[in-house]
Amino acid sequence: MKKSVFFGALAATTMVAGLAGATTLDDVKARGELICGSNTGLTGFGAPDASGNWTGFDVDLCRAIAAAVLGDAKKVKFVPTTGETRFTALQSGEVDLLVRNSTWTFSRDTELALDFVAVNYYDGQGFMVRKDLGVSSAKELDGATVCIQTGTTTELNLADFFKQNNITYQPVTVADDSEGQRQYLAGACDAYTTDASGLAASRATLPDAENHVILPEIISKEPLGPVVRHGDNNWGDVVRWTYYALLIAEEKGITSANIEEVLASTTDEEVKRLLGASGDMGVKIGLDNAAFKNAIAAVGNYGEIFARNIGEGTSINLARGLNALWTQGGLQYAPPLR
């Protein structure tokens, strides 16, 4: 999911200092609408339905931020950005933030002058093969033809992986996921490789899903998360802590359904601070004290968002895995809210 960084670099180098006069938070409040850079359509993560309502895992984070900042989860405008335009769109101020399954990497964080404020999904690159190929590990793929999306770093990861394991492969480059799925189904390649979440979604929609397996190896780290412009730290804090509020809510068992009940009965000081019943956490970052409560009430906690869009039971059927809370063996960990 990493396309050329050229346009981003171009944007970063031509960025005029002091471009945004006011802070992003003030702009959003004045506008009364959050402009969220999103995907042009990725199953489960962000896409409009037939009547134009956006849904998805990334989309819900945008809605949570809108609920926190503006008090209304509906006040979001989703701007579809492609792999080429996403970072420049953020730099040029077309969008307030980017929640678009973008991988956090060194060069994007530094050279492109972006800030990745959190990781809302830990992904990694995997392989899907036909069962009758009789392969149980990616290391057995010596000499295989592999369908790979061109121009992404999955291509580089693939080259690294095969080189390290001293085996060879033949790439069949495809332009996008639909073409990859098509080529793989038509037998043009033995294995299809892309991010594991994408593989799961692809496998779920194959006509004979039971004849295909996703191999256990994950060959790269793809931490995906919301991105903001470098230098507007307050806005970064707003996005980061809205996300952490959703995590803390899951940790404390607060859901969109029971939030009022919890607020009335809780004795937990952190929960009180989270929901704005004590302290002034919201006010400290320029929001309302009920900001986090609004966010949780609007979209639910992190676990609810995951379960609704991509979790087990949906057609995509992803296990929590690395994205479970730290208390359940995952990596999702929010700093203390105090």
Partner 1 sequence: MDQHFARTEMLPPMTPPITERGAVKWLRENLFSTPFNIALTLFGIAVIYLLVRASLPWWLNSVWNASSLSECRQIVEAAAGTGATGACWAMIREWWGAFIFGFYPPDQWWRPILAFGFLMAALAPVLFSGQTRNLTIVLVVVAVFLALTLWLAGTPGIAFGLAALVVIGMLALAQVQPGKLIWFTLIYPALCFWLLWGGSVWSPIVAMAGFGVLYVVFRQASPFIGLAPAAGAGVLAAVLWWLYLDKALVDVLHGVVPLALQSINSDQFGGFLLAIVIGITGISFSLPIGILLALGRQSDMLIVKTLSVGFIEFIRGVPLITLLFTASLLLQYFLPPGTNFDIILRVIILVTFFAAAYLAEVIRGGLAALPRGQYEAADALGLDYWRAQRLIILPQALKISIPSIVSTFIGLFKDTTLVAFVGLMDPLKGVTQIVRADINWKGIYWEPYIFVGTIFFLICFGMSRYSMYLEKKLKTDHR
Which residues neighbour 15 within 8 Å (Cβ) at sequence distance 6 or greater? 91, 113
5 in contact with partner 1 (CB under 8 A):
no
Q: Helix (H) and strand (E) counts for the chain?
A: 14, 13
Give 231 or 330: the residue with its C-beta nearer to partner 1: 231
Residue with tokens 């956090």: 104
Q: Residue 266: which H helix or E strand, with range? A: none
Written as six digits, the tokens of 204 are 């779920």
16 DSSP assignment: P
| Smallest separation, CB 226 to partner 1 (Å) | 18
290 binding partner 1? (CB under 8 A): no
Q: In the complex, what is the shortest distance from the CB of residue 230 to partner 1, in angstroms, rounded to a whole number?
A: 16
CB closer to partner 1, 178 vs 328: 178
Tokens of 93: 């101020």
Residue whose CB is less far from partner 1, 19 or 159: 19
Question: In this chain, which of 9, 28, 89, 148 binds partner 1, going by CB under 8 A?
Answer: 89
Q: What is the DSSP string of 33-84?
A: SEEEEE-S-BTTTBEE-TTS-EESHHHHHHHHHHHHHHS-TT-EEEEE--TT
| Distance from C-alpha of 227 to C-alpha of 37, rounded to nearest angstrom | 9
- Stretch binding partner 1 (CB under 8 A), from 48-56, 68-76, 166-174, 223-231: 48-56
Any contact of residue 16 with partner 1 (CB under 8 A)? yes
- Options 17, 50, 210, 338; binder of partner 1; rule CB under 8 A: 50
| Distance from C-alpha of 338 to C-alpha of 169, rounded to nearest angstrom | 52
C-beta of 53: minimal distance to partner 1 in Å? 9
> How many Cα atoms occupy the beta-carbon half-sphere of 165 within 13 Å?
17
Which residues 244-273 are close enough to bind partner 1 by CB under 8 A?
Answer: none
CA distances from 236 to 22, 27, 163 (A): 14, 14, 39
* Residue closest to 148 by CA, chosen among 119, 170, 120: 170
Binding residue for partner 1, selected from 75, 77, 130, 230, defined by CB under 8 A? 77
- Contact segment (CB under 8 A) with partner 1 among 14-22, 140-148, 153-161, 284-292 equals 14-22
Give me the least distance between CB of 320 and partner 1, in Å please.
19
How far apart CA 35 and CA 78 sit, in angstroms, is: 6
Stretch that binds partner 1, among 60-68, 165-173, 205-213, 286-294 (CB under 8 A): 205-213
Beta bridge partners, 193, equal 127, 148
CB of 197 to partner 1, least distance (A): 13
**Within positions 22 to 41, which residues make up the interface with partner 1, using CB under 8 A?**
27, 39-41
- State the number of binding residues for partner 1 (CB under 8 A): 49
197 lies in the binding site for partner 1 (CB under 8 A): no
Q: Which residues bind partner 1 (CB under 8 A)?
A: 7, 11, 14-16, 19-21, 27, 39-44, 46-52, 77-82, 84-85, 88-89, 92-94, 176-178, 181-182, 201-202, 204-207, 314-316
